[in-house]
Amino acid sequence: MLTLFKEIFTWWNRQTIGTKIYTMFFGKLVGQDDQGNKYYKNKSDNRWVIYKDEIDASKIPIEWYSWIHYTKNKIEDTHELKKFDWQKSHKPNLTGTDQAYHPNKDKNEFKKKYKSWKN
């Protein structure tokens, strides 16, 4: 029941009812990435993505990024990109959370690289 309520009244939690209906009637599933996001297009080649969980544009992997932006590349036909073990997996944007990057996070003070001439 809560999921239906979220689909009707919010756009930041997955898809809305309007997007769901439009996708059912006009969307053709092109593929799905390893995170569970689904990629659609219609007859006039408009493209969109339905995210598996919370909407975050940085969740689109590189093999689908060029497709969604109409950019030609070598992996567009297969949408498969060889991942190396040294490549990091996706990390969501942590800005505004307690896990956000801060250069002096462990020290609660800022060290100035200069001395002010007024005290």
Q: What are phi and psi of 28, to 5 degrees?
A: -115, 120
pLDDT of residue 80: 67
DSSP H helices, the chain, are 2-9, 17-26, 62-68
**Residue spans per domain, the chain:** 2-68
How far apart, in whole angstroms, are the C-alpha atoms of residue 70 and residue 104?
41
Distance of CA 19 to the CA centre of its chain: 17
pLDDT band at 47 (very low <50, low <70, confident <90, very high): very high
pLDDT band at 33 (very low <50, low <70, confident <90, very high): confident
pLDDT of residue 12: 64
Helix (H) or strand (E) holding 55: none
Q: Average the pLDDT over 35-63 and give the result.
A: 88
pLDDT of residue 75: 57
Distance (Å) of CA 85 to CA 38, 41, 63, 74, 88: 25, 32, 17, 21, 8
